[in-house]
Structure 1
Amino acid sequence: MMALRYFAIVALGFLGSCTVPADTSPVVEEDRTVKASRTIMVGMSEADVRMCAGFPTMGVKIADNEKIWTYQRIYARGTINFGASTLAMGPTPGLTGGTGLGTPGFCYTQIRFLDGKVSQVEFAGDNNTATRVNGLCVSTVDRCVVYAKNRK
């Protein structure tokens, strides 16, 4: 009985240590690649951005010389899944079931163009990870940061 109680305390402590706060921005830094994209991508043409990031998920024209492209990425984050099953006995079929905890993360990378050139890069969404602010946004801009460095 004592061993079971000890195991339960250790298991609860382990699960509690895996909990990530909803907003990690006060305790972790912004991802370096995301941070660099805000400056290094400024001045890139629309064609350059399509070459490194692909075609945008959506876009909006603000004025004749201004538009915003949005790249949306959805990511599965670590989830906890519970499952249970029973053995089939005689004519009774076996039963199975399960449930999962956790939500996907998502990033909207928004790129503003003024006169056909990038003037601003920003990020929105539930995009922080346990170790980096805007960590889920890296995959949209990482190739653009390399592309921009190589073009200079």
Structure 2
Amino acid sequence: MIRNHREAFSLITAIFLIVLMSSIAIYVMSLSGKIVKETTTQYNKEQAILLAKSYTELAIMTVTANDRNTTGQCITDINATVGSNDPGNTGEGYKVSTHIAYIGADGDIQACKDTSELDNPSTGNNELNIIVDVYVEYKDIIQSNIAGSPWITYHRRTLQKI
């Protein structure tokens, strides 16, 4: 009879340990999934920040390389997709929209439409400035329905003297 009690106690102990180890395994798997999601989210945001900085520099270089007086045109938009041809359905890649607005004395911005003129251009301040707005949009790739998930937008605004 004592032997049966020992076997029953061993069986109860084994079941308890199995339940305890299963609970710990479930907790570790849940924590691991959360860490992967956070890492992916942080990676996507850092990529968006770097793309916004890069496209800001590209806009500045493009504006300085463009001779507005010769061509009669101003660069106002630079758009691109990075990493995928269709980031909306696959969730991979980024959509970048860069908008450039010109601010300066009237003579500096005659060729540019939708520009703002400084209040008093007769003061001798003939500097041309641009405002560069960069919007980087991406989707959370961990979503089950990527095509239906909302876009996440990172915005960067820069004022630059030309």
TM-score by length of 2: 0.34
Q: Which of the pair is proportionally richer in strand?
A: 1
Q: Which has the higher Rg, Structure 1 or Structure 2?
A: 2
Q: Which of the pair is proportionally richer in helix?
A: 2
Report 1 or 2 for greater relative contact order, CA contacts < 8 Å, sequence distance ≥ 6: 1
